[in-house]
Chain A
Amino acid sequence: MNPIYIARAPEVAARMLGDEMMIMSARTSELFSLNATASAIWQAADGRTPLADIVEGTLCAGYEVTTEEALRDAVELVQNLSAHGILQISDQPIAESTP
């Protein structure tokens, strides 16, 4: 599998509330809430670190789950977030863009 790079979309607002991440899309006015593990992936979405490395560092370290299972779930998550326009996905590193 080619490496997947992820970066937070510039048109979102986000804040941790307890152990969950609130995200608001300025484009659609949709509100999202990510649980702790999804939040960890979101926070690590710097556009430079491959998703597989993020998963290895955030999910596999803290949960009894295989790398393959975790990566499969993570890919599904980032595709879902990308479909809602709140996360950018690329097979190349993504330059940081500030809102």
Chain B
Amino acid sequence: MSLSQELNARAMALGVPLSVHLDLTYRCNERCVHCYLDHDDHGEMTTAEIKGVLDQLAEAGVFYLVFSGGEIFMRRDLFELIEYARSLMFCVKLKTNACMIDAPKADRLASLHLDCVQVSVYSHRPEVHDAITKLPHSLERSITGIRLLRARDIKVILANVLMQQNVADHDGVRALARELSAEYTVDPTVTPKMNGDRSTIQFGIGNNELVQLFSNSELTSDMKELCSKPSAIDDAVLDETPCSAGHTSCYVSPYGDVYPCVQFPLPTGNLRKQRFLDIWRHSSGMNEVRSIRLRDLTTCSTCTHVGNCTRCPGLAYMEGDMRGASSADCQKSIARAGIGNGEQSDESARISPPLLAGGLIQIRQNRLSPPSDKQDGSAVGAVS
């Protein structure tokens, strides 16, 4: 078990929300065809309100903080909020399209010692990328912003959501990432809108493309583990929790709504009316999510893939039942393992390196990627 996994396990045992994804706004300068948000301002939290939320999150033990949107640079107080978050010692990740980043903004970001900046890039071809974002010259502007960040040694991750429009472009985006000295991650998941509208699902890639992605060793970082045949199902597997949503992570909307995850819009409370820790510890919604084990899943508990599936409870919730199946993840499990329900393989070995010997003063370290702020674990997951 790595140090980050160990800390996650400890956070789980202590009931600490280690990671929070905070959307600062739903307003955006792009209009991506697959976006799950509306882009109107229905009464965003003020600067003072968000600072108050950050105080509460720090008090609750939150370490990893994602500022996302919408487009975060649409908020005029963005730097004030980042500076405040860093003064509270959060490990801050930004998600942006980078179109609004100029040299002075990049200078300020560099001074704030961020963990990383994740930028959505759909294609290396402007005509494809811009057709998805519906913002002319958006690829050119994003690349300009990325170059400004990289010139200041800010870690940048290119996030490549794959859809029918751009499924063939992952090699091009990976090459672009290499050219920009950026990392790369790919995700074949298109989600329904938060209001339940499922029209965005039409953009998702088909099963054949999914199989090709999962069988591409350059895209799938740990094929042996991710694409192994399903292991035997026993009580230990059935006692596992579905994902970290509501256990060590949650989501806060621009309006103060708290959900288990950005993809899991189960209302659990609002920070304009309640304290964060009261919602986190005592809301019936959070506690219901926490009570669910794999054995409680109505369909999945008897599925061959239950032990290896990246089933997203949020997507299942949006399909009508948080204990039900997420059809997108059923498709991915079958595509990854290459088999349907009913076949099994030998359980793969797990190696746990010994911890360093202890003394009065101990320091342990590892190099890591912070836990994904998207808790379904659905990304194919590769870096270059």
Contacts and interface: CB of A to CB of B under 8 A. Distances in A.
Contacts of B361: 34-35, 37-38, 41, 73-74, 76-77
A73 B69 CA distance: 46
A80 interface: yes
Chain A contact surface mostly: mixed
Interface in A14-48: 14-18, 20, 22, 24, 26-35, 37-38, 41
Given A15-B63, A17-B63, A33 B113 contact: no
A30 B360 CA distance: 22
Interface stretch (B2-10, B169-177, B219-227): B2-10
Contacts of A93: none
Given A13-B89, A13-B115, A35-B362, A29 B58 contact: no
Interface residues of A, number: 38
A99 B358 contact: no
A70 B360 CA distance: 9
A81 interface: yes
Interface string B366-382: 11111000000000000
Nearest to B65: A13
A15 B115 contact: no
Given A13-B90, A24-B115, A38-B361, A33 B16 contact: no
Contacts, number: 106
Interface residues on B, range: 35 or more
A98 interface: yes
Contact of A32 (B62, B116, B365, B369): B365
A29 B367 contact: yes
Contact of A10 (B61, B113, B370): B113
B360 A31 contact: no
Contact of B3 (A26, A33, A74): A33
B359 interface: yes
A59 interface: yes
Interface in A60-99: 63, 65, 70, 73-74, 76-77, 80-81, 84, 98-99
A29 B155 contact: yes
B236 interface: no
B131 interface: no
Contacts of A20: 10
B11 interface: yes
A91 B115 CA distance: 30
A98 B90 CA distance: 12
Contacts of A31: 3-4, 7, 365-368
A98 B366 CA distance: 25
A73 B14 CA distance: 29
Nearest to B359: A73
B112 A99 contact: yes
Given A17-B11, A22-B7, A24-B115, A80 B360 contact: no
A30 B284 CA distance: 37
A32 B90 contact: no
Contact of B91 (A24, A80, A81): A24
A28 B367 contact: yes
B360 A33 contact: no
A81 B83 CA distance: 24
Contact of B360 (A10, A18, A29, A63): A63
Contacts of A38: 361-363
Nearest to A63: B360
B89 A14 contact: yes
B363 A98 contact: no
Interface in B202-242: none
A33 B355 CA distance: 12
B367 A84 contact: no
A33 B63 contact: no
B10 A15 contact: no
Interface of A: 10-18, 20, 22, 24, 26-35, 37-38, 41, 59, 63, 65, 70, 73-74, 76-77, 80-81, 84, 98-99
Given A20-B10, A77-B363, 9 more contacts: A10-B113, A12-B113, A18-B10, A29-B155, A32-B3, A37-B360, A70-B360, A84-B365, A99-B89
Please name the 4 residue pairs, one residue from A and one from B, whose CB atoms are nearest each other, closest first: A13-B91, A99-B86, A11-B113, A35-B362
6 contacts: A20-B10, A30-B367, A33-B363, A35-B362, A81-B363, A99-B112
